[in-house]
Structure 1
Amino acid sequence: MLKLCNATIKNQQRIITFPDLCLNVGEIVGLSGPSGCGKSTLAMALAGMQSLHSGSIARPKVATHNSANKNRPNSVQWVCQQPEFAFNPLWTLHKSMTESHPIDEAQLARYQIDPSWLKRYPKELSGGELQRLNLVRALAPDTRYLLCDEITAQLDTLTQQDIWQALCAEVDRGQLGLLVISHDEYLLDAICDRVIKFGTSAEVPMIATEPVSNPSWRAVLN
């Protein structure tokens, strides 16, 4: 279980109050809210990339009983909107993809990745192609929770559909929990089991959790 409780973060002189959040493997939870309210900051905190000012985060633990395990990827992975910033421009994609774990050939096929792309550099691929590789890299063997931060907002409709079909299949197999951060209410309503609406007024955080009107996302995407 990935759990955020009574959490705040200090951003310069501003204190951001986060909604309580609980995400299980096999579940898709949506997070929506106005730009600048702290959605990406929340995701970075969940992934251990940002320290809390107060409150707590419970994450699944990965065994570190030997030196090799100390270099294993985090079980909570944050994937951002701009995949071009996720890869070293001076490395081939093969080098980037194998930095922490071997390439899973089955994953390449599931995300419709041409193996020849791995010989190229990031600037030689489109945004959609890079995002597919970015997702496969994030789906390391130990990954249990994927934080998808507007990951398809800049992609064409067919690429969006391909990516969400593949991710929902991962969840359906009971191997992954997804936090989907998006402004796209249709997407959230289509694939999420529930949606957290997060935003701030001048004084009081406005936080609400709502069940979706149609949780049958498998039927919607297929």
Structure 2
Amino acid sequence: MTNAIRHIVFDIGKVLIHYDPDLPYKRLIPDEAERQRFFAEICTHEWNLEQDRGRTWEEAETLLIATHPDHAEHIRAFRQHWHEMVPHAYEGSVDIMLGLIDAGHDVTMLTNFAADTFAEARKRFDFLNRPRGVTVSGEIKVIKPDRAIYDIHAETFGLDPAASLFIDDTLANVQGAIDAGWQAVHFQNAKTLKADLERFGLST
């Protein structure tokens, strides 16, 4: 590798903790076709992403209920049952992150997350408090893969982008980090992450 890695930056959702909006809705909307239509047309990924960008849940719910009043209960259920969408951590990748910290590496986190649900996650998953710090999109109102969020994170935590390794499960976010001058790897599972880290000369 051309640059030695001095900073390791983890994404959170689907890297350290599991996230699946379908989990509570399998109970709330048992019919699969109806449930898929609900996510495709009402509580869409794009709608939820705006909460990651800093929009309040109250604003988000009001917006959708105005156009889909018959679905008000299911729209409000998204936030009400959010805790069911994040049922567990990925022990393998959490162990890797904690091992890097214990080995003396500089570890931070950079995540697309609504501010209030991140605060909830931090209470439930104590390992989220172990890294040196975190940039939460909902707090700064910028989301990955916007170039600004990588620059803000680097400036906030004093990172040299060329010496920073970003780990994310979404290819667009990995590319966003590369475009910002970072090094980055696409997270698939703990085994491939361990191999990726070894390629960069990092061990836990």
Pair in the same fold by TM > 0.5: no
If the length of structure 2 is used for normalisation, what is the TM-score? Answer: 0.30
Higher relative strand content: 1
Higher relative helix content: 2
